[in-house]
Chains A and B, each alone.
Chain A
Amino acid sequence: MNSMYVQGNSFLHQLDPRTKILFVFSIILFVFLFYDPMFQFLVTVSLLPIVFLSGLTTPYLKTVKFMFLLVFLIITVHGLYNPMGDVTKVTWQLTENLSFKHDALIYGAVMSFRILSIGTATLLFVMSTHPSDLANALVKWKVPHAVAFMILSTFQLIPIIGREAKVIMEAQQARCLDVKANMIQRVKHLIPLFAPLFITSFMRVHQMSQVLECRGFSSTGPKTSLREMTIGFRDYAFLTAIALFALAAITLRAVVGGTLLPITDFVLMSALIGIWIVCSIYFFDFLWKSVRKKVV
Chain B
Amino acid sequence: MSAFLRVENLTHIYPGKIKALESINLEIGEGEVVAVLGRNGSGKTTLVKHFNGLLKPTKGNVWIGDMNAKKHSVAKLSAKVGYVFQNSNHQTFLPSVEQELRYGCENIGLDEETIQERVERVTELFQLEDILETNPFDLNSTQRKEVGMASILAIEPKVIVLDEPTTGQDHAGSERIKEVITMLKEQGHIVILVTHDMQLVGELDCRVVVISNGKKLADGAAREVFKDKAMLKEASLEPPQVMTLAEQLTSFGVNDHVLTVEEMIKEYKRVKKLDINKQLQTS
Interface residues of chain A, those whose CB is within 8 Å of chain B, are: 164, 167-168, 170-180, 191-192, 195-196, 199-200, 203
Please, how many residues of chain B have a CB less than 8 angstroms from a CB on the other chain? 27
Residues from chain B with a CB closer than 8 A to the CB of A174 are: 52, 54, 74, 78, 82-85, 91, 152
A192 to B52: give the CA distance in the assembly, Å.
Answer: 19
6 nearest A-B pairs in the assembled complex, by CB-CB distance: A195-B93, A176-B107, A178-B75, A174-B83, A173-B74, A171-B91
Residues from chain A with a CB closer than 8 A to the CB of B155 are: 175-176
- Give the shortest distance, in Å, between B247 (CB) and chain A (any CB): 39
B90 partner, pick from A164, A178, A191, beta carbons under 8 A: A164
A292 to B10: give the CA distance in the assembly, Å.
Answer: 26
Residues from chain B with a CB closer than 8 A to the CB of A173 are: 52, 54, 74-75, 78
Residues from chain A with a CB closer than 8 A to the CB of B82 are: 174
Please tell me if B35 contacts chain A, counting CB pairs below 8 Å: no
- Give the shortest distance, in Å, between B175 (CB) and chain A (any CB): 25
| Per-position 1/0 for B134-167, Cβ under 8 A of A | 0001000000000000011001000000000000
Residues from chain A with a CB closer than 8 A to the CB of B108 are: 176
Q: Knowing that A173-B52, A175-B155 are A-B contacts, what are 20 other residue pairs whose CB atoms are under 8 Å apart, sorted by A's residue number?
A: A167-B85, A168-B90, A168-B91, A171-B83, A173-B75, A174-B52, A174-B85, A174-B91, A175-B103, A175-B151, A176-B104, A177-B75, A178-B75, A178-B76, A179-B74, A192-B91, A192-B93, A196-B89, A196-B90, A196-B92
A178 near B93 (CB under 8 angstroms)?
no
Within 8 A of A (CB), among B57-92: 73-76, 78-79, 82-85, 87, 89-92
Residue with the greatest number of chain A CB neighbours at <10 A, chosen from B76, B82, B93, B108: B93
Within 8 A of A (CB), among B22-42: none
Residues from chain A with a CB closer than 8 A to the CB of B92 are: 196, 199
Return the chain B residue nearest A176 by Cβ: B107
Return the chain B residue nearest A189 by Cβ: B107
A170 partner, pick from B54, B79, B93, beta carbons under 8 A: B54
- Give the shortest distance, in Å, between B121 (CB) and chain A (any CB): 17
Classify the secondary structure of A's interface with B: helix
A170 to B48: give the CA distance in the assembly, Å.
Answer: 13
Interface residues of chain B, those whose CB is within 8 Å of chain A, are: 49, 52, 54, 73-76, 78-79, 82-85, 87, 89-93, 103-104, 107-108, 137, 151-152, 155
Given A173-B78, A174-B83, A174-B85, check contact A200 B93 (CB 8 Å). no
Return the chain A residue nearest B91 by Cβ: A171
Given A176-B108, A180-B73, check contact A171 B85 (CB 8 Å). yes
A199 to B94: give the CA distance in the assembly, Å.
Answer: 11
B107 near A175 (CB under 8 angstroms)?
yes
Residues from chain B with a CB closer than 8 A to the CB of A180 are: 73, 75
- Give the shortest distance, in Å, between A138 (CB) and chain B (any CB): 34
Residues from chain A with a CB closer than 8 A to the CB of B107 are: 175-178
Residues from chain B with a CB closer than 8 A to the CB of A196 are: 89-93
A265 to B119: give the CA distance in the assembly, Å.
Answer: 77
A176 near B79 (CB under 8 angstroms)?
yes
A167 to B45: give the CA distance in the assembly, Å.
Answer: 12
A177 to B82: give the CA distance in the assembly, Å.
Answer: 12
A172 to B88: give the CA distance in the assembly, Å.
Answer: 10
A199 to B137: give the CA distance in the assembly, Å.
Answer: 9
B104 partner, pick from A175, A179, A200, A203, beta carbons under 8 A: A175
A176 near B75 (CB under 8 angstroms)?
yes
Residues from chain B with a CB closer than 8 A to the CB of A203 are: 89
Residues from chain B with a CB closer than 8 A to the CB of A195 are: 93
Given A175-B104, A175-B155, A178-B107, check contact A200 B89 (CB 8 Å). yes
Residues from chain A with a CB closer than 8 A to the CB of B49 are: 170
Return the chain A residue nearest B84 by Cβ: A174
A64 to B63: give the CA distance in the assembly, Å.
Answer: 46
Residues from chain A with a CB closer than 8 A to the CB of B89 are: 196, 199-200, 203
Instruction: Please list 15 pairs of residues, one from A and one from B, whose beta carbons are closer than 8 Å in the complex, sorted by A's number.
Output: A168-B91, A170-B54, A170-B85, A171-B85, A175-B91, A175-B151, A175-B152, A175-B155, A176-B76, A176-B155, A177-B75, A178-B75, A192-B93, A195-B93, A196-B93
B90 near A200 (CB under 8 angstroms)?
yes
- Give the shortest distance, in Å, between B20 (CB) and chain A (any CB): 16
A167 to B49: give the CA distance in the assembly, Å.
Answer: 12
Residues from chain B with a CB closer than 8 A to the CB of A167 are: 85, 87, 90
- Give the shortest distance, in Å, between B274 (CB) and chain A (any CB): 52
A176 to B104: give the CA distance in the assembly, Å.
Answer: 6
- Give the shortest distance, in Å, between A189 (CB) and chain B (any CB): 10
A191 near B75 (CB under 8 angstroms)?
no
